Amino acid sequence: MLNIALFGPPGAGKGTQSEFLVKEFNLFYISTGDLLRKELAAETRLGLQARSIIASGGLVSDEIIVQVIEKTITEHPEANGFLFDGFPRTYIQCYILEGLMMKLNTSLNCLVSLEVDEETSVRRLLERGRTSGRTDDNETVIRNRLREYSEKTLPVLDFYREKGNYQRANGNQAIEKVTADIRVVVRNELAKYLVNVVVFGYPGSGRGSQGAALARKYGLEYVATGPMLDQEIKARTPLGQRIIGLYESGQLVPDEIVVQLIEKKLERSSGVKGFIFKGFPRTLVQSYILDGLLRKRGSSIARSIEIEVPTLELIKRLDERSRTDRCMPYDNTTAKIVQRLAEHETKTVPVINKYNQLHGVVKVDGMGSFEEVFARTSGVLESIFRNG
Ligand code: AMP
């Protein structure tokens, strides 16, 4: 997810620049001002409470702001990222935004501050007032809004300056020039963050070969727990001996083993562009572990893919594989294959459902040749690199 807050005094050009940001980076636009005006127009309880404050140019209470924002964010789990306009507007709202982002298991990438001098703001707002129909675009209220901005909103910058994710753009320039400057800031942000993708699918869906090929094509680190465990078996480590026993009885390897291996892998991969996870997380507990492992690195999951293949086809593929030298110790009998499919159903499907609610899992048809499926899975990765 790419989350940006556009900051600046009334009349800085936040609304105008938002239009370009939303299109270019495929973001979901949240303007608290627009949300409040909608509530006002619909004469809802919240709208009626906010009416007189908005009319005088004051700031609406945090209780009202939290309600309108939370509702909008939770109604759009599929969003690629959010663009906030007019929020956070007080120091306290910075903490509120942190909390809301945490709930979505993401964070604010950066706050872009559009800097304009006061007289430019007033001139632009008076001009806008001629056509906007907004009752708060008149000189008395405008001056009041600017006073509120200096007193209550400017401290927001201290919060992000301290956090180290605050950028500035000169908002006095021509619209196109401001756009170009913001574009550079956001592109730099995009280049900074890790692209982490989870590839889900039943055993036999092709998630392993697709995951490995995607990692090669996009220069990402492939993290597949299966091969990591096999490595331990091949190297005949004590861990490997324990793993063989578990495989033979068709059980999942305990989290403490898997987590150790993954943590080691993540630590050794500093400087990479991101990770493709396959075979992990396999349980709800592991999904929390992965969230924690990534958060520790200031990162999160960008996208999940689920490769879908009908059950009969899965069994056919696994059965065929069991008769070749690619046979894995955990799928060399029909009973083990059935057990693995059942394990996926009961333990991993709830993880997919959880991620689906959090950030939307992209379903990909796993039928057809490797190349056909690869074109589909690559399409998902392309969209992340294009839009974050
Ligand atoms: P805007 O469209 O952003 O200029 O907002 C118009 C009015 O809505 C402001 O003058 C405030 O009264 C109110 N408002 C918008 N966003 C917020 C916020 N984050 N906190 C408090 N009041 C807000």
Ligand 1 pocket mutation, candidates 32, 84, 137, criterion most atoms within 8 A of CB? 32
Å from CA of 24 to ligand 1 middle: 25
User: Given a cut of 80, is residue 58 above it in pLDDT?
Assistant: yes
Domain finish residue from 158, 191, 224 = 191
pLDDT range class, residue 344, cuts 50, 70, 90: very high
Position 61 in a domain? no
* Residue nearest atom 5 in ligand 1 by C-alpha distance: 33
Position 67 in a domain? no
Task: Give residue 119's domain range.
Answer: 2-27+79-191
Q: State whether the beta carbon of 279 lies less than 6 angstroms from ligand 1.
A: no
Å from CA of 6 to ligand 1 middle: 13
Position 43 in a domain? no
Distances (CA, A) of 168 to 32, 115, 258, 260, 277: 21, 7, 43, 41, 36
User: Given a cut of 80, is residue 118 above it in pLDDT?
Assistant: yes
Position 241 in a domain? yes
Domain finish residue from 191, 210, 243 = 191
Position 70 in a domain? no
Residues 365, 259 share a domain: yes
Residues 378, 305 share a domain: yes
Q: Which long-range contacts (CB under 8 A, 24 or more apart) does 182-189 make?
A: 182/17, 182/20, 182/21, 182/112, 183/20, 183/24, 185/110, 185/112, 186/2, 186/4, 186/21, 186/25, 186/110, 186/112, 189/2, 189/4, 189/109, 189/110
Residues 218, 170 share a domain: no
- Phi and psi dihedrals of 220, rounded to 5? -105, 165
Classified as helix, coil or strand, 61 is coil
Ligand 1 pocket mutation, candidates 7, 36, 83, 153, criterion most atoms within 8 A of CB? 36
Å from CA of 212 to ligand 1 middle: 48
Instruction: Write out pLDDT tens, residues 234-279.
Output: 999 998 999 998 888 877 788 989 988 998 888 888 778 899 999 8
Minimum-distance ligand 1 atom for the alpha carbon of 87: 19
Å from CA of 57 to ligand 1 middle: 8
Q: State whether the beta carbon of 359 lies less than 6 angstroms from ligand 1.
A: no
Position 64 in a domain? no
179 vs 271, higher pLDDT: 179
* Residue nearest atom 6 in ligand 1 by C-alpha distance: 33
Identify the residue whose tokens are 């949240």: 30
* Residue nearest atom 19 in ligand 1 by C-alpha distance: 87
Position 209 in a domain? yes
Token output for 290: 């992965």
How many independent structural domains does the chain possess? 2
Residues 220, 178 share a domain: no
Minimum-distance ligand 1 atom for the alpha carbon of 61: 21
Residues 242, 230 share a domain: yes
Closest CA to 73 of 37, 107, 23, 29: 29
Q: State whether the beta carbon of 60 lies less than 6 angstroms from ligand 1.
A: yes
Q: How far apart are CA 275 and CA 123, in angstroms?
A: 49
Following DSSP, what letter does each residue of 311-335 receive, concatenated? HHHHHHHHHHHHTSTT--GGGSSHH
**pLDDT score, position 352:** 97
Q: State whether the beta carbon of 32 lies less than 6 angstroms from ligand 1.
A: yes
Residues 230, 158 share a domain: no
Residues 235, 203 share a domain: yes
Minimum-distance ligand 1 atom for the alpha carbon of 145: 10
> What count of other Cβ atoms lies within 10 Å of the Cβ of residue 196?
24
Residues 257, 177 share a domain: no
* Residue nearest atom 12 in ligand 1 by C-alpha distance: 54
CATH (domain of 151)? 3.40.50.300
Residues 143, 8 share a domain: yes
Q: What is the largest CA-CA distance in the chain?
A: 82
Q: How far apart are CA 308 and CA 88, in angstroms?
A: 41
Q: State whether the beta carbon of 10 lies less than 6 angstroms from ligand 1.
A: yes
Å from CA of 96 to ligand 1 middle: 15
Residues 128, 208 share a domain: no
pTM: 0.65
Residues above pLDDT 70, as percent of the chain = 98
Q: How far apart are CA 156 and CA 111, in angstroms?
A: 10
Identify the residue whose tokens are 């608290």: 32
Position 321 in a domain? yes
> What count of other Cβ atoms lies within 10 Å of the Cβ of residue 163?
14
Å from CA of 160 to ligand 1 middle: 20
Domain finish residue from 139, 162, 191 = 191
pLDDT range class, residue 386, cuts 50, 70, 90: low
Are the C-beta atoms of 248 and 329 separated by less than 8 Å? yes
Identify the residue whose tokens are 């709930």: 103
Minimum-distance ligand 1 atom for the alpha carbon of 37: 8
Q: State whether the beta carbon of 53 lies less than 6 angstroms from ligand 1.
A: yes
User: Given a cut of 60, is residue 388 above it in pLDDT?
Assistant: no
Residues 186, 207 share a domain: no
Residues 184, 199 share a domain: no
Residues above pLDDT 90, as percent of the chain = 63
Instruction: Write out pLDDT tens, residues 293-318.
Output: 888 877 889 889 999 999 999 999 98
Average pLDDT, the chain: 90
**pLDDT score, position 197:** 95
